C-alpha cells in the first residue's frame, strides 16, 4: 500500500526541534523559573490561551538583548537528536521546511538558519519596534538593552499558527509537528498533524493527534514525510545515518497512531519497503 508523501514540513521550535522552551530558559537566567514555567505549561497544556500568558511572562523577565543572544546558543546546544539531519534530508528531497513558533524571532530565526531552514520560512514573534530610537531594543545605558514588548499577533494566540500556515506555506500536502496545544490547533489547516512527545508528553495533544512520535530522536518523522520506501532508498545516500535511525526507531515502536486507518496504511507500506 502506498503512503502519500508531503511537500511541506512545518516544525514547532521549542520542545520539538530543541528540547528547551526558550522563554523558560530565559527564566532560569533571570531567577524566575517556577513562575514562568507554570505559565508556559498552562498555555501548552491548553488550560489557558497563549495570548493571556505571553505578555505576563515577558513582563516578569524583561530580558536584555545579551540574554536573548545566549538563548540562540541554548537552542543549538539542546537540539534533539537528528533534527539537523532530518532537515537536510528533507531539503535534498525537495520538501520545504518551515518553522512556525511562538518563540522570539531573533533567537528562533538564527537557530532555524543554523538548522538549514531558509530565513524567509521562519516565523516567530518579533519585538516591538521603538520609533524614537529606530531600534528593536531600548538602551537603558551602555551596558544594558532591555526588551520593550512583543508584537501581538497570530503567534501569541493559541489558535494562531494555522493562520500563519495558510498565509505563508504554499499549496501542497502539509505536515506539522509540535508538542503544544497551539500546534494541535493547526490540525484543520494541515494534511497531517504529528504530536512530538519526545521532550514532554502533553496528553491533550498526544491523545488527539493522528500520530505521535514518542522517541526523543525525531528521525522517524522522515518516514511520515517521505514514506517508508523513500527512507529505505536513503540508506544508499549521504543520509544513510538518519535513514537508519528512522527505521530503527520505528521498529522499536517510536510511532503511535490514534488513527487506525492511517496506522494500517503506514505499516503496510513500511513492511513492503523492508522486503
User: What is the bridge-based pairing of β-strands 211-213 and 137-139?
Assistant: unpaired
Residue 135: predicted pLDDT: 46
Give the whole-angstrom CA distance, residue 137 versus residue 214.
39
Q: Is the pLDDT of residue 191 over 70?
A: yes
Give the whole-angstrom CA distance, residue 196 versus residue 199.
8
> pLDDT: is 156 or 123 the higher one?
123
Range of the domain at 57: 8-274
Q: Is the pLDDT of residue 149 over 90?
A: no
pLDDT single digits (tens) 209-231:
999 999 999 999 999 999 999 99
How would you class 34 by CB atoms within 10 Å of its CB: exposed for 0-12, middle for 13-18, buried for 19 or more?
A: exposed
How would you class 80 by CB atoms within 10 Å of its CB: exposed for 0-12, middle for 13-18, buried for 19 or more?
A: buried
> pLDDT: is 159 or 101 the higher one?
101
Q: With CA atoms as reference, report the closest residue to 216 among 116, 80, 117, 114.
A: 80
Q: Is the pLDDT of residue 154 over 80?
A: no
Return the minimum-mean-pLDDT range out of 158-162, 177-181, 219-223, 271-275: 158-162
Cell reading at 153: 499577533
Element (H, E) at 106: helix 105-115
Question: Residue 21's domain is classified under what CATH number?
Answer: 3.40.50.1000
Residue 55: predicted pLDDT: 67
Q: Is residue 3 part of a domain?
A: no
Q: Is residue 1 part of a domain?
A: no
Q: Is residue 2 part of a domain?
A: no
Range picked from 52-56, 110-114, 129-133 for highest mean pLDDT? 110-114
φ/ψ (deg, to 5) at 175: -125, 135
Residue 46: predicted pLDDT: 77
Average pLDDT over all residues of the chain = 86
Q: What is the mean pLDDT of residues 142-169?
A: 64
220 to 21, 153, 197, 224: CA distances (angstroms): 22, 32, 12, 7
Give the whole-angstrom CA distance, residue 83 versus residue 65.
27
Q: Is residue 85 part of a domain?
A: yes
Q: Are 23 and 62 in contact (CB under 8 A)?
A: no
Give the whole-angstrom CA distance, residue 87 versus residue 206.
23
The whole-model pTM stands at 0.84
Q: Are 9 and 94 in contact (CB under 8 A)?
A: no
194's CB contacts (< 8 A; 6+ apart) are 175, 176, 177, 178, 209, 210, 211, 212, 213, 221, 224
Domain count within the chain? 1
Residue 51: predicted pLDDT: 67
User: What is the bridge-based pairing of β-strands 122-125 and 137-139?
Assistant: unpaired
Give the whole-angstrom CA distance, residue 262 versus residue 3.
9
Q: With CA atoms as reference, report the closest residue to 25 among 80, 76, 85.
A: 76
Percent of the chain predicted with pLDDT > 70:
83
Q: What single-letter DSSP state applies at residue 211?
A: E
Q: Is the pLDDT of residue 208 over 80?
A: yes
Q: What is the mean pLDDT of residues 174-194?
A: 95
pLDDT single digits (tens) 16-38:
999 998 878 877 877 777 877 78
Amino acid at each position: 500500500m502506498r503512503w502519500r508523501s508531503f511537500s511541506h514540513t512545518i516544525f514547532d521550535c521549542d520542545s520539538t526541534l530543541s528540547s528547551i522552551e526558550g522563554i523558560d530558559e530565559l527564566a532560569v537566567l533571570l531567577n524566575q523559573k517556577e513562575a514562568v514555567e507554570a505559565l508556559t505549561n498552562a498555555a501548552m497544556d491548553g488550560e489557558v490561551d497563549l495570548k493571556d500568558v505571553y505578555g505576563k511572562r515577558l513582563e516578569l523577565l524583561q530580558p536584555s538583548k545579551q540574554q536573548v543572544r545566549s538563548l540562540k546558543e541554548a537552542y543549538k546546544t539542546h537540539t534533539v537528536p537528528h533534527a539537523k539531519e532530518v532537515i537536510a534530508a528533507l531539503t535534498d528531497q525537495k520538501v520545504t521546511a518551515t518553522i512556525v513558533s511562538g518563540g522570539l524571532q531573533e533567537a528562533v530565526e538564527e537557530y532555524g538558519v543554523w538548522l538549514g531552514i531558509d530565513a524567509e520560512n521562519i516565523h516567530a514573534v518579533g519585538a516591538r519596534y521603538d520609533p524614537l530610537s529606530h531600534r528593536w531594543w531600548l538602551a537603558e545605558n551602555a551596558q544594558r538593552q532591555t526588551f520593550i514588548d512583543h508584537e501581538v499577533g497570530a503567534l501569541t494566540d493559541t489558535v494562531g499558527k494555522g493562520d500563519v500556515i495558510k498565509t505563508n506555506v504554499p499549496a501542497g500536502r502539509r505536515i506539522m509537528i509540535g508538542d503544544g496545544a497551539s500546534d494541535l490547533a493547526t490540525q484543520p489547516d494541515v494534511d497531517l498533524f504529528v504530536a512530538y512527545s519526545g521532550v514532554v508528553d502533553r496528553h491533550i495533544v498526544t491523545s488527539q493527534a493522528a500520530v505521535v512520535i514518542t522517541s526523543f530522536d525525531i528521525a522517524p518523522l522522515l518516514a511520515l514525510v517521505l514514506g517508508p520506501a523513500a527512507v529505505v532508498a536513503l540508506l544508499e545516500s549521504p543520509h544513510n545515518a538518519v535513514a537508519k535511525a528512522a527505521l530503527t526507531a520505528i521498529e522499536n515502536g517510536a510511532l503511535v497512531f490514534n488513527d487506525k486507518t492511517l496506522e494500517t496504511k503506514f505499516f503496510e507500506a513500511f513492511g513492503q519497503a523492508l522486503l
